[in-house]
A and B are shown apart, each in its own frame.
Chain A
């Protein structure tokens, strides 16, 4: 098809209701909005620890089943979903070490999903680290405060994915 015979694109302006209403006066300032949102998160986060425990228990059960060959075929996706949740929510809630370990587990599970060998020891090692990072002593730590753990996990992921 030559350029001359190609149909022209239709280009048009859309002012959506979202844009019209969001630009109205009477809104709240960015600083106030963010401050209120942060307060809302803290208030909503009351059940965070129970939620983390429930997610971790599910993850531990999934990995146990996979280790013994009793897992459902979609266990990898299910484990990845749970670790992504832990990472995303953990970061938003300020649990840095938990998020770091969950992120590392996501990388590991992504590698396995992409064809890397499914080394269950590496997965179990990550889940153990997650359980550890949930404990009172560790839960408010940053990754740089436990360098042996973080380096070890990085090494495991690198080994599996290469």
Chain B
């Protein structure tokens, strides 16, 4: 991931992680990237509350943020029609790197998934990817979020559809862990094409 210079100054970044120490590390990384407006919360309810009271420029959430997890939180943000932060970029952090989990995050409406544990380089590159690779948004009866269709591979389970997208169940997960490169490829939108 080669990225041009990124300017994060003045942006309001909301970090949702149940671990205060991990939040502090992420905060340090973001400060190193030139950002000084980081808000931290420990629960998904606090995320929703923050989103209703102030403008957030990007949400970085742990997939296991209590009580119901970052994927359901992402879905809740995307599905709430009167939410002015509905299109806010969402970066989901997870140590559960099974392909099924990463796809669930994508299908919930996440812009990108980052593998935990993470380094400054991996965080910087995912933020830059979101900043410099804007995707169209798609609004259907069952999905609202960044365009999930990719030309690099045909995804099973309905992903890639436009009309009649299947509802996504956040449930059982299976399969081996993915490397960050594999995760990136799942999010590497490379097309703007016709509906399937």
Shortest Cβ distance from B86 into A: residue: A14
Residue B52 CB within 8 A of the other chain: no
Residue B150 CB within 8 A of the other chain: no
Given contacts A9-B138, A12-B137, contact A81 B21 (CB under 8 A): no
Map CB proximity to B onto A97-141 as digits: 1 under 8 Å, 0 otherwise. Answer: 001000000100000000000000000000000000000000000
22 CB contacts below 8 A, A to B, read: A9-B140, A9-B195, A10-B138, A12-B137, A14-B87, A16-B58, A18-B58, A19-B134, A22-B11, A22-B128, A23-B6, A25-B7, A27-B5, A28-B5, A28-B33, A28-B34, A29-B5, A33-B33, A35-B32, A44-B28, A88-B22, A93-B25
B127: A residues at CB distance < 8 A: 22
A25: B residues at CB distance < 8 A: 5, 7
Is the pair B87, A43 in contact by a Cβ cutoff of 8 Å? no
Map CB proximity to A onto B18-57 as digits: 1 under 8 Å, 0 otherwise. Answer: 1101101101111111100000000000000000000101
B185: A residues at CB distance < 8 A: none
Given contacts A19-B131, A43-B28, contact A12 B139 (CB under 8 A): yes
Shortest Cβ distance from A42 into B: residue: B28
Is the pair A88, B19 in contact by a Cβ cutoff of 8 Å? yes
Nearest CB on A from B89, distance (A): 5
Name A's B-contacting residues (CB within 8 A): 1, 3, 6-19, 21-30, 33-41, 43-45, 51, 81, 84-85, 87-93, 99, 106
Residue B155 CB within 8 A of the other chain: no
Nearest CB on A from B102, distance (A): 17
Name the 4 nearest CB pairs between A and B, nearest first: A37-B32, A27-B7, A91-B117, A37-B120
- Could you list 19 further interchain pairs (A-B, Cβ under 8 angstroms) beyond the known A22-B128, A44-B25? A9-B162, A11-B147, A14-B137, A18-B58, A18-B88, A22-B127, A23-B4, A27-B5, A27-B6, A34-B32, A37-B28, A37-B32, A37-B123, A41-B28, A85-B21, A88-B95, A92-B118, A92-B119, A106-B95
